[in-house]
Chain A
Amino acid sequence: MQKKIIYLRDTDSAQQDRINDFYTLFSNELRDANLQEPVQLVKIADIGLYEKGITVKILPENIVYSGIKNTDVKRIVEETIKGNKIIKELLYEKKSKQMRAVLKNCGYIDPESLEDYIAAGGYKALIKVLLEMKPENVVEELKKSGLRGRGGAGYPTWMKWNFARGMNSPEKYVICNGDEGDPGAYMDRSVLEGDPHSVLEGMIIAGYTIGSSKGYFYIRAEYPLAVERVQKAIDQAVSAGLLGNNILGSNFNFELEIRLGAGAFVCGEETALIASIEGKRGTPHPRPPYPSVKGLWGKPTIINNVETLANIPKLIAGGGAKFASVGTEKSKGTKVFALTGKVKNSGLVEVPMGITLREIIFDIGGGILNNRAIKAVQTGGPSGGVIPQEFLDTPVDYENLSKLGSIMGSGGMIAIDETDCLVDLAKFYLKFCVDESCGKCAPCRLGGYQLLRILEKISEGNGELEDLNKLKKISYAMQKASLCGLGQSASNPVFSTIRYFEDEYKKHIVEKKCQAGKCKALIYFKIHPQKCKKCGLCMKNCPSSAILGSREAGYVIDPQKCIKCGVCFDVCKFKAVMKE
């Protein structure tokens, strides 16, 4: 008999020991059938399915059975393992929700080896472009593909390139925007670290298309490994003749240089980024003129996000039409998301446009930690908004997300559960934007600060209903009057949390209550007399001597002295300390 491997996994999170009993049962069955030798039974840590009962996967046939009862084991052994027959009613036909295009090489090739990248099909697109295509053909393919910028705004890439191509200037520049500043997102870092040559190839193609001979990688200094790997890739490309003069025997010359960011979120905005490469403070300029007309050193410049550029080689190699076969009507291709927050499997996922948020969070992410209820999903980082759970079935694309008051953004996706306070979340993002405001224009500099003060007031229990109107008014003014994208979108988290969770704001304002227990001023700690075992641990640990009582009489918290540090809550082994 052919050797087989069977994976076992209990996909229900609540039952802990069930899988061991099941394993014993299964191995006994195998022993009785005399199949121990050819069949390996392996308990595994994750089978890619969630809340589907006990699940087995039989290899090499790749048959997945889920929701298995103990009584099914005998049948599986007899019919499938011995008889090679599939049991229809147990079969789970899993469709892979992920689709790896940009991340295809990440985790597959050695990022420090040019040879590996070429073996995986790398630089073939460059050859095609240099030897067979004119710049206008490249633009044509991009147009067919429908590729839009992956950095946030979703501007069609072909238009950007075409503008710059049409400019009559001896000097033009290509910039790769690797200033991934959105806290909670790290797609670009992974691509730069895992597959740097794909971004290089995209940049060289961009240079050829617009007629530029010099490109800059702008990378956050906080990503030392990414910087190191990109530099290595550049050095390899230079010595292999993929950068420099007469690339691959053509008459096209191109060189690349790394410039480091220095910790300023606003530098993700293109005009600020240009100022930063020029060695100045990263303050934005009004547009127009757009960088494609007047950019770096006053010359036509295109700025593309890491993920956009990493899409280019595959797009060219496979053709624009093939690229456009994935996705929705106006959003084509795949998108990488950094799925984090209260989700079980946090990590990087790449999905076709048009997949629903629910599929991403539950089928790929495995649902919410500790089986709590999901409250909302935040996308787009500090410039984005929250999407409440009732819209989880919305297909993800640029238009749908902005209709819901959020944005695609660069790809941060954060699951928020019932224990998270949305007033606090809005405050968190706003604080970020206030810290990062460059100060050049008043709506952002002053508006952000005032919004933050009002939010602080609400979370401290001093809010008034009139504050909600003020928040809306200031937010609106910032959106309309700020100079750059950072200021215009800084109030989005406030806007969208009020839009969907006004009740939660009102609870903070009227009832002075924070249900999630996040806003310190609005919570009180209490000891539940029935649950208290009078061990005294809380009193020993209280830093402000706010716990009174004795082992005989039990303990109470003196609200006057309590500083709400939560130590008693943490140390109590009997869950007798309660947060209200």
Chain B
Amino acid sequence: MKKLTKEDIMNVDPLKKDLGKSWIKVGMSTCGVAAGADEVYSTLIEESKKRNIEIDIRKCGCQGACSVEPLVEVNVEGLPKVLYGRVTKDVAITILERHVRNKKLLHDYIFEIN
């Protein structure tokens, strides 16, 4: 990696990374991983390839709602940003099909906290 300069840090557009793009984030801290976030993350990666669903899937830290881990945050253009809790492998696949592809939110897994 090249050494960063003052300009590199001061001139980043903070919105560049997120805005307008569709992404999925999986909370991968200890409690998330303990609750099965690893499996959810790899399911999302594999299944999105298999089903030809194009979406940026990333890891992130703890969202704080530990009792409902694993947590998956989904941002799809035209829909509100949604936090899903207690996500299993099956739910992860449903998120891809229903939420990402068909733009319909899932029942019973959304947590509107904070």
Do A and B share a complex? yes
Instruction: Verify if A399 is at the interface (C-beta below 8 Å from B).
Output: no
Best-surrounded residue of A96, A107, A195, A236 (most CB of chain B within 10 A): A107
Instruction: Verify if A193 is at the interface (C-beta below 8 Å from B).
Output: yes
Is the CB–CB distance between A106 and B61 below 8 Å? Answer: yes
Q: How far is the CB of B55 from chain A (nearest CB, A)?
A: 15
Kindly identify, within residues 364 to 404 of chain A, every residue whose CB is under 8 Å from any CB belonging to chain B. Answer: none
Kindly identify, within residues 10 to 47 of chain B, every residue whose CB is under 8 Å from any CB belonging to chain A. Answer: 10, 12-14, 16-17, 25, 27, 29-31, 33
Give B52-76 as 1s and 0s: 1 = Cβ < 8 Å from A's Cβ atoms.
Answer: 0000001111111111100101000
Is the CB–CB distance between B110 and A7 below 8 Å? Answer: yes
Instruction: Verify if A356 is at the interface (C-beta below 8 Å from B).
Output: no
Is the CB–CB distance between A348 and B66 below 8 Å? Answer: yes
Residues of B within 8 A of A123 (CB): 4, 9
Q: Name which residue of chain B comes closest to A347, CB basis.
A: B66
Is the CB–CB distance between A42 and B64 below 8 Å? Answer: no
Is the CB–CB distance between B5 and A249 below 8 Å? Answer: yes
Q: How far is the CB of B22 from chain A (nearest CB, A)?
A: 16
The complex places the Cα of A517 from the Cα of B53 at a distance, in Å, of 54
Instruction: Verify if A417 is at the interface (C-beta below 8 Å from B).
Output: no
Q: Which of A60, A107, A131, A347 contacts B60 (CB 8 A)?
A: A107
Q: How far is the CB of A110 from chain B (nearest CB, A)?
A: 5
Instruction: Verify if B3 is at the interface (C-beta below 8 Å from A).
Output: yes
Kindly identify, within residues 56 to 105 of chain B, every residue whose CB is under 8 Å from any CB belonging to chain A. Answer: 58-68, 71, 73, 78-80, 85-86, 104-105
Best-surrounded residue of B13, B16, B25 (most CB of chain A within 10 A): B25
The complex places the Cα of A118 from the Cα of B1 at a distance, in Å, of 15
Instruction: Verify if B50 is at the interface (C-beta below 8 Å from A).
Output: no
Is the CB–CB distance between A42 and B114 below 8 Å? Answer: no
Q: Which of B1, B6, B67, B110 contacts A127 (CB 8 A)?
A: B6
How many of B's residues come within 8 Å of A, CB to CB? 49
Is the CB–CB distance between B60 and A348 below 8 Å? Answer: no
Best-surrounded residue of A45, A226, A349 (most CB of chain B within 10 A): A45
Instruction: Verify if A435 is at the interface (C-beta below 8 Å from B).
Output: no
Q: Name which residue of chain B comes closest to A222, CB basis.
A: B30
Is the CB–CB distance between A59 and B107 below 8 Å? Answer: no
Is the CB–CB distance between B29 and A193 below 8 Å? Answer: yes
Tier of interface size on chain A:
35 or more
Residues of A within 8 A of B107 (CB): 42-44
Is the CB–CB distance between A109 and B105 below 8 Å? Answer: no
Instruction: Verify if A418 is at the interface (C-beta below 8 Å from B).
Output: no
Instruction: Verify if A242 is at the interface (C-beta below 8 Å from B).
Output: yes
Given A189-B29, A193-B29, A225-B29, do A46 and B62 touch, yes or no (CB 8 Å)? no
Is the CB–CB distance between B112 and A110 below 8 Å? Answer: no
Q: Name which residue of chain A comes closest to B8, CB basis.
A: A118
Give A114-149 as 1s and 0s: 1 = Cβ < 8 Å from B's Cβ atoms.
Answer: 011011111110010001000000000000000000
Is the CB–CB distance between A42 and B6 below 8 Å? Answer: no
Q: Name which residue of chain B comes closest to A189, CB basis.
A: B30
Compute the total of residue contacts between A and B using a CB distance below 8 Å: 145
Dominant secondary structure of chain B at its interface with chain A: loop
Q: How far is the CB of A10 from chain B (nearest CB, A)?
A: 12
Instruction: Verify if A411 is at the interface (C-beta below 8 Å from B).
Output: no
Is the CB–CB distance between A107 and B114 below 8 Å? Answer: no
Given A7-B110, A45-B86, A190-B29, do A106 and B16 touch, yes or no (CB 8 Å)? no
Kindly identify, within residues 459 to 497 of chain A, every residue whose CB is under 8 Å from any CB belonging to chain B. Answer: none
Given A7-B112, A46-B111, do A249 and B61 touch, yes or no (CB 8 Å)? no
The complex places the Cα of A241 from the Cα of B3 at a distance, in Å, of 5
Q: How far is the CB of A126 from chain B (nearest CB, A)?
A: 8
The complex places the Cα of A121 from the Cα of B79 at a distance, in Å, of 26
Q: How far is the CB of A107 from chain B (nearest CB, A)?
A: 4
Q: Which of B3, B13, B114 contacts A96 (CB 8 A)?
A: B114
Q: Which of B9, B73, B80, B85 contacts A59 (CB 8 A)?
A: B80
The complex places the Cα of A43 from the Cα of B112 at a distance, in Å, of 11
The complex places the Cα of A240 from the Cα of B6 at a distance, in Å, of 12
The complex places the Cα of A276 from the Cα of B110 at a distance, in Å, of 45
Is the CB–CB distance between A193 and B62 below 8 Å? Answer: yes
Best-surrounded residue of B10, B111, B114 (most CB of chain A within 10 A): B114
The complex places the Cα of A347 from the Cα of B66 at a distance, in Å, of 5
Is the CB–CB distance between A195 and B61 below 8 Å? Answer: yes
Q: Name which residue of chain B comes closest to A344, CB basis.
A: B67
The complex places the Cα of A423 from the Cα of B29 at a distance, in Å, of 34
The complex places the Cα of A3 from the Cα of B79 at a distance, in Å, of 9
Q: How far is the CB of A377 from chain B (nearest CB, A)?
A: 17
Residues of A within 8 A of B12 (CB): 118-119
Instruction: Verify if A270 is at the interface (C-beta below 8 Å from B).
Output: no
Kindly identify, within residues 382 to 440 of chain A, every residue whose CB is under 8 Å from any CB belonging to chain B. Answer: none
Instruction: Verify if A283 is at the interface (C-beta below 8 Å from B).
Output: no
Give A168-192 as 1s and 0s: 1 = Cβ < 8 Å from B's Cβ atoms.
Answer: 0000000000000000001001100
Q: How far is the CB of B7 from chain A (nearest CB, A)?
A: 10
Residues of A within 8 A of B16 (CB): 119
Is the CB–CB distance between B4 and A240 below 8 Å? Answer: yes
Is the CB–CB distance between A5 and B105 below 8 Å? Answer: yes
Q: How far is the CB of A47 from chain B (nearest CB, A)?
A: 5
Binds B, one of A97-105, A290-298, A322-330, A541-549: A97-105
18 contacts between A and B (CB under 8 A): A42-B107, A43-B108, A46-B110, A106-B61, A106-B63, A109-B61, A116-B17, A121-B14, A127-B6, A127-B10, A186-B31, A190-B29, A225-B30, A225-B33, A345-B67, A347-B66, A347-B67, A350-B64
Residues on B close to A: CB < 8 A?
A: 1-6, 8-10, 12-14, 16-17, 25, 27, 29-31, 33, 58-68, 71, 73, 78-80, 85-86, 104-114
Which 3 A/B pairs are nearest by Cβ-Cβ distance?
A194-B61, A241-B3, A107-B63
For the complex with contacts A121-B14, A186-B31, 14 further pairs of A-B residues with Cβ separation under 8 Å are A42-B105, A44-B108, A44-B112, A45-B108, A46-B85, A98-B114, A103-B64, A106-B63, A106-B64, A107-B73, A119-B16, A190-B29, A194-B62, A226-B30
Residues on A close to B: CB < 8 A?
A: 3, 5, 7, 9, 40, 42-48, 57, 59-60, 96, 98, 100, 103, 105-112, 115-116, 118-124, 127, 131, 186, 189-190, 193-195, 223, 225-226, 236, 239-242, 248-249, 344-350
